[in-house]
Structure formats: structure tokens, C-alpha cells
């Protein structure tokens, strides 16, 4: 079930270099490599990241995912002319990422300014089987005359995170004249990264030198007209964020030598085989009118594989995956809410590891709560390896006044605590993994619940939650945010119901019961609209249409200060809609629909997390056109035309949301006490097929506009629309019999 779709870069465009470097980035969960070109362009940002490898460069900085020395760059001269697509003519162009193989191919015929033409094809992949392995292959064919070709490449440690250097050179070596190795130490630590590479060229003369943090191999070759120079560069990039093995230099050199002996084609075949297993476990296939829908799904799943650190449960998925420096490689609620459900339903063991990441960081969360005067666990709004708060204290600087704007999220965006608890409960409900609940899951639930018990303010016999920021970050420091309060309630009630009693402090049960009975819970108004918080309804409405025309760009902040935005009915994303998505059982469909519609003119969708969630809620309210429109717009967050949408990295959560929109929106999958299916395929979708895992049972589901076909690895009872169905093996059901 491998994908046949590809992602194509329509043309060479200096303005979209960084966008496509992100969209076509390679990744295997261990490493991520931006798809920059071999030759240099001042407008392209190179990047290679190792999951979980962070460092703080200066006292005023925060920890960031280290941008490693570059191995992609190649300086190529063809008959004395530097190869660059900014000069000469490009006579043909093709650049594509094949989702099935994870290989990026560029194929150009270039006419140099001196009129000589060359066919240059380059390929590269990061191995899905051997995680530290990266391979490149270039084929250069002179088309008019014999050619003199020179090429320089190696390991370039002048690479930084936007100017901040995190690594010291520890050793630079060349073995057997061809195997280059640079060992780099993370500053102020014993952690080392070993980067080895070998570059083979047919019939070439080589020289190697080390200068100014670059270890470079220089080769020259004479190539006859019509013959092809083949360049194979194989790299082994190895690092261990916690402890470097004593003999990493030797073991990684040995691994590099073995890879070089195997060669590009054989290494790619092994990688493809491993990647095929991924696609078999999770690919969603569509028979529909518009191939873009299938492409968006394949794109999303390709990147989910690329960004997930399957090998290391002390790392998690960063907001930009492993594709760029945006948000400094930090981990947000995005992982639990937008990415984890994909794994819960397809590869629950990976979901468990992602939750264990939070469990490993519990000491940091307990400490943050204590420091802030609370009990339990207050997880950092932005997290890295240790669980300490990593949110930068200040954001943008006002260069006229020199003043910096404080980032309030770390101080008040506390819903994250309940989001983690929600993810634990979701995992447990869908997998029935009781052992997790008895151990790490129970501990997470309990400590998060304890936080909420201490986060309340007593007002008129009620418990309020004051001074928070909900997911809608345009509204800061409000009281009784509906999203936060209902999520906190779910958290505490979940702990009371599911946690092992042995964890409870003496008074936990009584305090939790009081919290549940007294917590102030915003109620829908007479028009069925759920207030976002205590003050939202009293703020003035403004016409947002011009800002809505450019979602994601935060153009409203060009006209109003943040403080002004805070005092108006202006939403980045609607908290009520987000709440309906996560806890649809709380409110009637009528309340969800009227609230959704009421908030729409007040919502700009400046958050990449917004649209697909609106689409899912719209689908559940049977607003089919709106649902599909939102889903399509959600797919465009990275894939759309905006040339700079993804310069700093992919919107990782938006890829998870593409999958969620299909599975929870259009297929109508939900799990409360049992698995429920309520399909509502968009017009133009004839068949939707996908695998699903529910309580250890492997399902394959095929939906048409009228029927469900399902196979199950064990007997199963589920609900189709309003009625219960028992399935053993395989079955086909007409919707009309179940509505
Ligand atoms: O977690 C999100 C947040 O909700 C909105 N700003 C971007 C963050 C990272 O994606």
C-alpha cells in the first residue's frame, strides 16, 4: 500500500528555497535534514538536526535544537564555471520527493553562461532502516563537449543556529585518504556527535584539507562528452544526547565503511523496505476526484514518520518536527492533542513512548509547580529534554523603544497540564493498556489533577480558575476560560476514576470531589453560545474580514497592539470549538453548531491549529461543505501558495490534523465507552480506506458514501451511527440500516 503520489517543486524559485527545503526535508525520527540544494544560495537555510540534542548558547538564550555541521553542500565547477541556477539557463527542471521511498530527486539540464550544457541529476535519502545513514548521489553528464569537473564537499562546521554556535571541534581526521570524520562536542558537556562521510567520484583526483571548521575533500575529473560522472557521498551521523559511547569514533567509522561498501542503490533498497512497513501500518487511501486530497494525506504521513523519535522516549515531537529552527525545536501541547491520536490509533506502542516522554519530565513539572506555588505537576509550556521550562522570557523587540514583549504562555497557558491528562485517558480508552494506567499513566493523571486542585480561587462558594490563557492566545489573563475549566474537570474526574488509589494523598479524594462539585463551568447563553471566558461577551466586536483573508499571518498585530486585541472579540482560534473537538459529549449538537457559527466571524485562524479542528466540529454538526472547506484549508498550511509559510520548519501539528480531519471528521471515528463510526464522506470522495487499531484489534476499514466494509483481527462490537454491530472477521454494512 505504498503511496504513488509525490511532492513536486514546480520551478526553481529563489523565493521558495526555504519553503521547499522544509516541505521536502528528509527525516527518520533520529535525524532531520532540510532539503537545501547542493550548491549555495544566500536565501537558503541549511539544517540538520538530531532528535533530542539541545544546547543553550548564552545566558540570555534558551535551549535549542542544535543545527549540526552541514554535509549536503557541494561546490561544483563545470569547465571553470561555478554551477548555480542563478546564472545561465535552466533548460529542464524536475524536483520531487517520492513519499514511498523518501528519496528527493532533482533533474536539470543547465546551460552555463558560456553556452555549454550539462545534465545534472541528484538524489538523496535518509535511511529508514539505519538511522544515522544519509546518502547522496550525483550524476553529471556534459552534453556538448568533454568537460573538466571539479567538486568540493565534506563536513562544514561553520553551520550555526542563526549565528549561535553550540559545538566545539573535538577532532578532525581523514582515514584511508577518503573517510572524513569530524567529532564535535556539545559545549559545556561530554556529549559528542561523530560525523563521517565518504565521497567517491569516478576517475577523479582527490585532496583533503581542514580549514576554518571545514573538513573538505576536493576532487577533479575529466569527463568525455556523453559520459557521466557519478558522485556518491555516504554519511554516518551519530549522536546520543545523554551519554556518548566511549568508542564512538571507531564504531561510527566502521559503520560508515560498511555503508560505503554496500553503495547507494543497495542502501536505498533496504531503507525502502523499512519505509514500506510504515506505509502498511498507517496509509490512508482515497478514491476521489481530486488527487490533491490523497497527496495531502501522504505528505502528512510522510512527515509524521520523519518527525517522530521512535528510538528515544526522552525526546518527543517538536512543533516543527526535525525540519527547522522554528520554536527552537521545543515541544508543545501540539504533540498530545494533534499528533498523539494518530499513533494511538495506528501504532499504540509509539503513543505510549510519547506519553512516557512526559513521564520522564515529571520532576521538572513538579519543580515548576512548586516554584509557582502550586501542587502537583505544572508542565513547561515549551519543553526540551529535561522538562524545565524553555519558553523564552521575551518575544519580539520594539526596536524604537528597545523594550521586549514578555511571553505570557509559560506563566498562564496552563491548559497544557490537562491536555496531557486528556492524552493519557485517550490512550487508555483506545488501547485498554491497563498496565500503563497502573504505572506511568496513573502518575501523570494524578500529578496533573493535583495541580488543578491547587490552581483554584474560592469565589462565592465556587471554585474559579483565574488568570489563564486558553488555546486562543489572543485573549490573555482571563478568568474561567471554558476550555481550561472543562479540561481541568476532565483531568480531575479522570484521576479520581482511573488512578490507582495507592497514589492518592490522604485528602485527595475529598478535595477532588469538592473540585468537581464546585468548579465554575461556563454555560451556554440563551442563544446556545458557550462563552469563552467570564469577560468575552462584554468585549466589542470588530470586523475581521480583512485579517481573515490572510490567516496565519497575524496581520491584525500590524494595526492593533496585543493589549488592544485582548480587549476585543478577536480570536486566533476559538477555544469553545477546540473544547467541542476534545469533549464532544459535553454539549448538544445544537449548542456546538450555534457556538461554531457565532465564533466564526470573530476568529482569524492565525493559529495553524485552528482550521482542521473547526472542520472536524463542522463535520460532526453535519455541516458538510464547511467541514470539507476547513479541511482543505488546513491542508494548505504548509502545502499552499504562501512562499514563506514554512521557512522556519513544518507545522507539525497541522500534519497530524490532516489525518485527524479525515479519521475523526469524515470517517466519524470516535471512542467513548466503545468504538463508534459515523461516516460523512465529502462529495467527490468515493472510497476512503484506512487501518485502525482498537484495544489490540487490528481493523481495516473501507467507507463509501453508502456502505462500510470492515475486517477485524478479533471479534468486535462497535456502533455504526445509532446501532450496535457485532463483527467476526469481515462484514459489509449499509448505512441506511443503522440510522
Ligand atoms: O502550541 C502552539 C500554540 O498553540 C500556538 N502558537 C504555536 C505553538 C506551537 O505550534
pLDDT at 359 (0 to 100): 98
> Is residue 94 within 8 Å of 158, Cβ to Cβ?
no
Helices (H), 440-503: 440-453, 482-498
pLDDT digit string, tens, across residues 115-134: 999 999 999 999 999 999 99
Nearest Cα residue to atom 9 of ligand 1 = 319
Query: Quick one: three-class SS letters along 581-624?
Result: HHCHHHCCHHHHHHHHHHHHHHECCCCCCCHHHHHHHHHHCCCH
Nearest CA to ligand 1 atom 4: 471
pLDDT of residue 180: 98
**What residue ranges of the chain are covered by domains with CATH 1.50.10.10?**
285-666
Question: Distance from the CA of 645 to the center of ligand 1, in angstroms?
Answer: 15
Residue 198 has a pLDDT of 97
**471 CA: nearest ligand 1 atom:** 4
User: Candidates 395, 396, 473: which one to mutate for ligand 1, based on the most atoms within 8 Å of Cβ?
Assistant: 473
CB crowding 490-520: b at 16 or more within 10 Å, else e? bbbbbbbebbeeebbeeebeebbeebeeebb
- Strands, sheet with 675-677, edge to edge from the N-terminal-most edge strand: 669-671, 675-677, 716-720, 723-727
pLDDT for residue 199 is more than 80:
yes
Cα gap 455→659, rounded to integer Å? 34
Residue nearest (by alpha carbon) to ligand 1 atom 6? 607
Q: Please tell me the distance between residue 738's alpha carbon and the centre of ligand 1 in angstroms.
A: 40
Q: Which atom of ligand 1 is nearest to the CA of 653?
A: 10
Pocket probe for ligand 1: among 318, 323, 332, 651, the residue whose CB has the most ligand atoms within 8 Å is: 332
Burial of 336 (0-12, 13-18, 19+ CB in 10 A): buried
Q: How far is the CA of 334 from the centre of ligand 1 (A)?
A: 7
Q: Report pLDDT digits (tens) over 523-570.
A: 999 999 999 999 999 999 999 999 999 999 999 999 999 899 999 999
Percent of the chain with pLDDT over 70: 100
* Ligand 1 pocket mutation pick from 607, 613, 651 by most atoms within 8 angstroms of CB: 607
Q: How far apart are the first and last CA of the chain?
A: 32
**What is the pLDDT confidence band of residue 513, given thresholds at 50, 70 and 90?**
very high
Confidence band, pLDDT 50/70/90 cuts, at residue 394: confident
| Grid coordinates belonging to 10 | 514546480
Pocket test for ligand 1, best of 325, 327, 331, 603 (most atoms within 8 A of CB): 327
Q: Which of 366, 337, 390, 363 is nearest to 451 (CA)?
A: 366
Report the atom number in ligand 1 closest to the C-alpha of 607.
5
* pLDDT above 90: residue 401: no
Other CB atoms within 10 Å distance of the CB of residue 303: 27
Residue nearest to atom 10 of ligand 1 (CA): 319
In the beta sheet, which residues pair with residue 56?
none
Element (H, E) at 138: strand 133-142
**Can you tell me which atom of ligand 1 is nearest the CA of 572?**
5
C-alpha 392 – ligand 1 centre gap (Å): 14
Q: Do residues 415 and 470 make contact, with C-beta atoms less than 8 angstroms apart?
A: yes
Alpha-carbon gap, residue 107 to 90, rounded angstroms: 10
Residue 80: pLDDT over 80: yes
Q: For residue 608, how far is its CA from the centre of ligand 1 (angstroms)?
A: 8
**Residue 403 scores a pLDDT above 90:** no
Residue 397 has pLDDT above 80, yes or no: no
Predicted local confidence at residue 205, as pLDDT = 87
pLDDT of residue 654: 98
Q: If you measure from the C-alpha of residue 104 to the centroid of ligand 1, how many angstroms do you get, rounded to a whole number?
A: 29
**409 CA closest ligand 1 atom index:** 3
The per-residue pLDDT for range 360-378, each reduced to its tens digit, is: 999 999 999 999 999 999 9
| Phi/psi-derived region of residue 729, left when phi > 0, alpha when psi is between -120 and 50, beta in every other case | left
pLDDT value for 672: 86
Best residue for ligand 1 mutational test, from 317, 319, 340 (most atoms within 8 Å of Cβ): 319
pLDDT at res. 400:
82
The pLDDT, as a whole number, for residue 574 is 97
More confident residue, 204 or 469: 469
CATH 2.70.98.40 fits 6-282, yes or no: yes
CATH 1.50.10.10, applies to 285-666: yes
Q: What's the CA gap between 478 and 471, in Å, rounded?
A: 12
pLDDT band (50, 70, 90) for residue 679: very high
151 C-alpha to center of ligand 1: Å? 42
Minimum-distance ligand 1 atom for the alpha carbon of 413: 4
Measured between alpha carbons, how far is 210 from 492 in angstroms, rounded to an integer?
59
Which residue out of 471, 609, 610, 655 has the highest number of ligand 1 atoms within 8 Å of its CB and is therefore the one to mutate?
A: 609
Q: Does 473 qualify as catalytic in the annotation?
A: yes
Measured CA to CA, the distance from residue 67 to residue 65 in angstroms comes to 7
Query: For residue 506, how far is its CA from the centre of ligand 1 (angstroms)?
Result: 37
397-406, 479-488, 582-591, 706-715: segment of lowest average pLDDT: 397-406
Quick check: 426 and 344 in contact, CB under 8 A?
Answer: yes
pLDDT at site 337: 98
For residue 1, pLDDT beyond 80: no
CA of 642 to the centre of ligand 1 (A): 19
pLDDT at position 398, please? 77
Ligand 1 atom closest to 333 (CA): 1
Distance from the alpha carbon of residue 607 to the mean position of ligand 1, in angstroms: 7
Q: Give residue ranges with CB within 6 A of ligand 1.
A: 319, 327, 332-334, 471, 473, 607, 609, 653
Q: What is the mean pLDDT of residues 601-606?
A: 98
**Closest to 191 measured CA to CA, from 385, 336, 391:** 385
Predicted confidence at residue 53, as pLDDT, reads 98
Q: Which atom of ligand 1 lies closest to the CA of 651?
A: 10
Q: Mean pLDDT score of the chain, rounded to an integer?
A: 97
Q: Which atom of ligand 1 is nearest to the CA of 327?
A: 9
Q: Which pLDDT score, from 0 to 100, does residue 145 have?
A: 98
Q: Is the pLDDT of residue 67 over 90?
A: yes
Grid coordinates standing for 470?
486558553
Parts of the chain belonging to CATH 2.70.98.40: 6-282
Nearest CA to ligand 1 atom 7: 607
Ligand 1 center from residue 360 Cα (angstroms): 22
What is the pLDDT, as a whole number, of residue 26? 98
pLDDT tens profile 291-302: 999 999 999 999
Q: What is the pLDDT of residue 264?
A: 98
- Annotated catalytic residue, options 473, 476, 593, 633: 473
**Residue 651 three-state SS:** coil
The per-residue pLDDT for 4 is 85
Tell me how far the alpha carbon of residue 27 lies from the centroid of ligand 1, in angstroms.
Answer: 22
Amino acid at each position: 500500500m505504498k503511496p504513488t503520489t509525490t511532492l513536486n517543486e514546480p520551478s526553481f524559485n529563489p523565493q521558495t528555497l526555504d519553503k521547499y527545503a522544509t516541505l521536502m526535508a528528509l527525516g527518520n525520527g533520529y535525524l532531520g535534514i532540510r532539503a537545501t540544494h547542493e550548491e549555495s544560495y544566500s536565501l537558503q537555510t541549511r539544517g540538520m538536526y538530531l532528535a533530542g540534542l539541545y544546547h543553550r548558547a548564552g545566558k540570555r538564550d534558551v535551549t535549542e535544537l542544535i543545527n549540526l555541521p552541514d554535509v549536503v553542500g557541494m561546490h561544483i565547477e563545470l569547465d571553470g564555471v561555478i554551477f548555480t541556477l542563478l546564472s545561465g539557463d535552466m533548460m529542464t527542471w524536475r524536483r520531487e520527493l517520492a513519499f514511498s521511498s523518501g528519496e528527493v530527486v532533482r533533474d536539470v539540464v543547465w546551460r552555463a553562461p558560456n553556452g555549454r550544457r550539462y545534465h545534472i541529476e541528484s538524489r538523496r535519502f535518509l535511511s529508514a532502516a539505519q538511522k544515522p545513514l544519509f546518502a547522496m548521489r550525483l550524476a553529471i553528464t556534459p552534453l556538448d563537449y568533454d568537460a573538466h569537473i571539479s567538486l568540493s564537499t565534506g563536513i562544514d562546521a561553520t553551520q550555526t543556529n542563526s549565528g549561535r554556535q553550540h559545538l566545539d571541534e573535538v577532532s578532525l581526521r581523514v582515514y584511508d585518504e577518503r573517510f572524513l570524520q569530524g567529532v564535535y562536542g556539545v559545549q559545556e558537556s561530554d556529549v559528542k556527535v561523530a560525523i563521517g562521510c565518504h565521497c567517491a567520484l569516478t576517475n577523479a583526483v582527490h585532496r583533503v584539507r581542514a580549514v576554518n571548521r571545514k573538513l573538505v575533500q576536493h576532487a577533479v575529473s575529466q569527463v568525455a562528452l556523453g559520459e557521466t560522472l557519478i558522485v556518491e557521498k555516504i554519511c554516518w551521523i551519530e549522536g546520543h544526547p545523554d551519554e556518548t559511547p566511549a568508542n564512538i569514533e571507531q564504531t561510527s567509522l566502521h559503520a560508515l565503511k560498511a555503508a560505503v561498501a554496500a553503495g547507494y542503490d543497495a542502501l536505498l533498497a533496504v531503507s525502502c523496505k523499512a519505509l514500506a512497513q510504515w506505509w502498511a501500518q498507517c496509509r490512508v487511501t482515497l478514491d476521489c476526484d481530486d488527487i490533491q486530497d490523497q497527496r495531502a494525506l501522504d505528505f502528512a504521513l510522510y512527515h509524521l514518520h520523519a518527525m517522530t523519535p521512535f528510538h528515544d522516549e526522552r525526546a518527543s515531537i517538536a512543533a516543527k518536527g526535525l525540519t527547522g529552527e522554528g520554536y527552537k525545536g521545543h515541544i508543545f501541547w501540539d504533540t498530545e492533542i494533534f499528533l498523539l491520536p494518530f499513533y494511538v490509533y495506528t501504532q499504540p506502542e509509539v503513543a505510549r513512548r510519547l506519553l512516557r516522554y512526559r513521564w520522564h519530565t515529571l520532576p521538572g513539572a513538579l519543580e515548576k509547580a512548586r516554584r509557582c506555588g502550586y501542587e502537583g505537576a505544572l508542565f513547561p509550556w515549551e519543553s526540551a529534554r529535561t522538562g524545565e521550562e524553555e519558553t523564552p522570557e521575551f518575544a519580539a523587540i520594539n526596536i524604537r523603544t528597545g523594550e521586549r514583549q514578555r511571553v505570557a504562555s509559560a506563566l498562564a497557558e496552563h491548559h497544557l497540564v490537562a491536555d496531557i491528562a486528556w492524552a493519557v485517558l485517550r490512550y487508555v480508552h483506545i488501547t485498554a493498556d491497563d498496565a500503563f494506567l497502573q504505572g506511568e499513566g496513573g502518575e501523570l493523571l494524578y500529578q496533573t489533577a493535583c495541580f488543578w486542585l491547587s490552581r483554584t480561587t474560592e469565589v462565592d462558594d465556587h471554585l474559579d480558575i483565574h488568570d489563564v490563557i486558553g488555546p486562543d492566545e489572543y485573549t490573555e489573563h482571563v478568568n474561567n476560560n471554558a476550555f481550561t475549566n472543562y479540561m481541568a474537570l476532565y483531568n480531575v474526574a479522570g484521576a479520581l476514576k482511573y488512578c490507582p488509589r495507592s497514589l492518592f494523598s490522604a485528602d485527595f479524594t475529598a478535595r477532588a470531589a469538592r473540585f468537581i462539585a464546585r468548579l465554575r463551568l461556563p454555560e451556554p447563553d440563551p442563544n446556545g453560545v458557550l462563552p469563552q471566558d467570564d469577560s468575552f461577551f462584554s468585549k466589542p466586536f470588530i470586523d475581521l474580514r480583512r485579517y481573515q483573508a490572510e490567516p496565519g499571518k497575524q496581520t491584525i498585530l500590524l494595526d492593533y497592539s496585543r493589549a488592544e486585541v485582548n480587549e476585543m472579540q478577536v480570536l486566533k482560534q476559538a477555544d469553545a470549538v477546540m473544547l467541542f473537538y476534545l469533549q464532544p459529549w459535553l454539549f448538544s449538537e445544537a449548542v456546538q453548531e450555534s457556538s461554531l457559527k457565532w465564533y466564526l466571524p470573530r476568529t482569524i485562524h492565525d493559529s495553524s491549529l485552528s482550521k482542521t479542528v473547526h472542520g472536524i466540529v463542522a463535520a460532526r454538526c453535519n455541516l458538510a461543505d464547511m467541514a470539507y472547506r476547513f479541511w482543505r484549508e488546513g491542508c494548505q498550511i504548509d502545502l499552499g501558495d504562501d512562499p514563506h509559510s514554512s521557512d522556519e520548519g513544518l507545522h507539525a501539528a497541522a500534519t497530524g490534523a490532516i489525518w485527524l480531519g479525515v479519521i475523526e471528521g469524515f470517517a466519524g471515528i470516535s471512542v467513548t465507552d466503545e468504538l463508534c463510526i459515523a461516516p460523512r464522506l465529502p462529495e467527490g470522495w468515493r472510497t476512503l480506506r484506512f487501518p485502525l487499531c482498537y484495544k489490540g484489534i487490528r481493523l481495516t476499514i473501507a467507507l463509501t458514501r453508502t456502505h462500510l466494509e470492515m475486517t477485524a483481527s478479533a471479534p468486535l462490537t462497535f456502533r455504526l451511527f445509532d446501532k450496535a454491530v457485532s463483527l467476526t472477521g469481515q462484514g459489509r454494512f449499509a448505512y441506511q440500516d443503522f440510522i
